[in-house]
Amino acid sequence: MSIYLLIHGSFQGGWIWKPTAKVLKDMGHTVYAPTLDGCGERAQQIRPGITVTSQAMEIYGFLFNEDLEDVILVGTSTGGLVASKIAELSRERISRIVYVDALAPQPGELVSNIVVRDSDQINEITDLSRGPSREDAAKRLFAELEPSLREWALQRYTLHPIEASEAPDQLDLFWSQEWPDTRVIRCNLSVNPPESHQRRTAERLKASWHELDAGHYPMLSHPKELAQLLI
């Protein structure tokens, strides 16, 4: 049986992985789905200084203190940035990296250079966080989900720490190394991140390529299918 560490993306918490985590646990695997600093149920703790690196450092400490090894590290959406940094910090503890419709910017590249945003998107911005409004999230981010699941997700939706939205130069060391046995899972019904970006990630990392007929949140909409690809 394997150990899975599931890293969520923007506007989420560990809750986003709940259906997929259950499938993996029912198969006998050990699953961790932590909520990153300043996100999800920890959104009230937001403060200056929460970055991709600081979030990754916290997970690095968790892996160290729990003596976890041979971990399958899974990142989705902007969680791909954090997962990449975690892998860099904890290389000896990671057996495989899996990117699920995830972002993996090259050195100096910004997420805003990759993601295609609609011009009429309605955003909410505070001094420390930002993201689509809840109404906009219902119409865009979670539009693919069936109504009850969409409402469940919207009740848990939170803005994302601004400083953790980009990672220019924070992943340079990651890209200077080789990462064997990496997987890239592309969600065919998702607009962001673009397929071209994900294919570039697979090419750069010599990763195996997989596709799933799902939107950006397969961990909610297609938990059994995603779990099979993770295995």
* CATH number, residue 64: 3.40.50.1820
**Structural domain includes residue 95:** yes
Does residue 130 lie within any of the structural domains?
A: no
> What are 123-144's pLDDT values in tens digits?
899 999 999 999 999 998 899 9
- Supply the pLDDT for residue 119: 65
Phi/psi at 205 (5° precision): -95, 0
**pLDDT on residue 85:** 97
Number of domains the chain is built from: 1
- pLDDT tens for 24-68 read 999 999 999 999 999 999 999 999 999 999 999 999 999 999 999
In a domain? residue 137:
no
Both tokens assigned to 125: 């911005």
Residue 127 placed within a domain: no
pLDDT of residue 112: 86
- Report the amino acid identity of residue 128: L
Asked, for residue 54, whether it belongs to a domain, the answer is yes
Considering the domain boundaries, does residue 24 fall inside one?
yes
pTM score of the predicted model: 0.96
Task: Using CB atoms within 10 Å of the CB of residue 31, give its burial: 0 to 12 exposed, 13 to 18 middle, 19+ buried.
Answer: buried
Structural domain harbouring 72:
3-120+160-230
Helix (H, G, I), strand (E, B) or coil at 190: coil
Confidence of residue 190 (pLDDT cuts 50, 70, 90): very high
Q: How many CA atoms within 13 Å lie on the side-chain side of 78?
A: 25
Q: Return mean pLDDT, the chain.
A: 95
| In a domain? residue 141 | no
| Residue 151 predicted with pLDDT over 70 | yes
Question: Using CA atoms, how far apart are residues 193 and 106, in angstroms rounded to an integer?
Answer: 14
* Confidence bin at 116 (pLDDT 50/70/90): confident
Nearest to 104 by CA among 128, 74, 60, 144: 74
Q: What is the pLDDT of residue 171?
A: 94
108 confidence band (pLDDT: 50, 70, 90):
confident
Please state, for a pLDDT cut of 90, what percent of the chain lies above it: 90
Looking at the domain assignment, is residue 214 inside a domain?
yes
> What does the pLDDT read at residue 14?
98
Cβ–Cβ contacts within 10 Å for residue 9, how many? 25
